[in-house]
Chains A and B, each alone.
Chain A
């Protein structure tokens, strides 16, 4: 296998591994979550309104206990995660949601990193292109003469023409 093909193959493998890891991370939760797991996950996403830096899952403050209890009631009542987040966000404010909603100004939290990543990748492509263009410089007559002088060759074209 030529070095170029080997390199292409390793890049392809790297892509497959990265894509698989991403897909498993995003979708691969296996079995559907139980109600208790949903309550636990949601509790970890909601900040305790009176304890500064703790989620309602960690805090034993009465307000956190109440919010945990309401999350459990709403999960029992069949409401989905977004509805429960929206219910609490509307009451206590968006700052309570440790995972900001993907709408309005909060959506910047999700959009900006993606835009920056795309711009950075595009920048890298441009810079790499420019570098390879620089690497393909043609020797000048002066260069050819110099090489010829060192090698003592009659035919300069043979030396540089390879």
Chain B
């Protein structure tokens, strides 16, 4: 408290201990800084751990190790199709669209894979149409070859059940009907066989 006394000289009186002395303020500032620092470090740790645990590998599907979602529907040729009927064989479920360039590029490789295994029936290939009309898909196969079940997915439910958001994508289902692998992007016949060999435990 500063006042002017009768002689006009400043005089200072300090009546009671002020709780907001510089020393206390220093403590408060230091405490607040510590708390803010701890919170920031905690957020950083959460960010690092959270992102570190996220697996971005293409080969891991959220369905990995789970029963393959049902694929029941019509093929583009009007045949009835049910994935459950293929139990006992390895199945490659290929999602594709005729308008997708990598799908066009992988098509000859899929033909090679299908022809290699069709006679034995140990490894089967099916395709699921991703946002494409049946007539266009029929023309695509008529022009480029290939003769395996191509299932329509007009309501998108098969693609969503398999968590497919971009094509091409291929999902490997083992003979017990479990999802065991996934390839994002175009495939090659030899790579498909190598992957299935590995999954089957073959040398």
Contacts and interface: CB of A to CB of B under 8 A. Distances in A.
A70 interface: yes
Nearest to B66: A90
Nearest to B163: A91
B165 A146 contact: no
Interface string B1-39: 101011000000101101110000000000000000000
B98 interface: no
Given A90-B62, A146-B3, A70 B13 contact: no
Interface stretch (A6-14, A137-145, A153-161): A137-145
A150 B131 CA distance: 93
Interface string B152-174: 01011101111111100000000
Contacts of B201: none
Contacts of A151: none
B28 to A, nearest CB: 10
Interface residues of A, number: 28
B155 A70 contact: yes
B93 interface: no
Mostly helix, strand, loop or mixed at chain B's interface? loop
Interface string B37-67: 0000000001000100000000000110000
Contacts, number: 69
Given A62-B130, A63-B166, A149 B15 contact: no
A105 B3 contact: no
Contacts of A139: 15
Most buried by A among B18, B63, B131: B131
B155 A92 contact: no
Contact of B155 (A73, A142, A149): A73
B62 A69 contact: no
Interface in A83-129: 88, 90-93, 105, 108
Interface residues of B, number: 29
B97 interface: yes
A65 B62 contact: no
Contact of A65 (B13, B18, B156): B156
Given A130-B19, A140-B13, A49 B46 contact: no
A50 B166 CA distance: 7
Given A93-B62, A137-B16, A138-B16, A62 B163 contact: no
A7 to B, nearest CB: 26
Given A133-B19, A134-B18, A134-B20, A67 B62 contact: no
A69 B13 contact: no
B15 A143 contact: yes
Contact of A91 (B1, B20, B62, B156): B62
Interface in A5-35: none
* Nearest 10 interchain pairs by C-beta: A66-B156, A62-B131, A63-B165, A49-B165, A91-B163, A140-B15, A70-B160, A69-B156, A69-B155, A66-B159
29 contacts: A49-B165, A50-B166, A62-B131, A65-B131, A66-B131, A66-B155, A66-B156, A67-B156, A70-B156, A70-B160, A73-B155, A73-B157, A90-B62, A91-B63, A91-B160, A91-B161, A91-B162, A91-B163, A105-B50, A134-B20, A137-B16, A138-B15, A138-B16, A140-B13, A140-B15, A140-B16, A142-B15, A143-B15, A146-B5
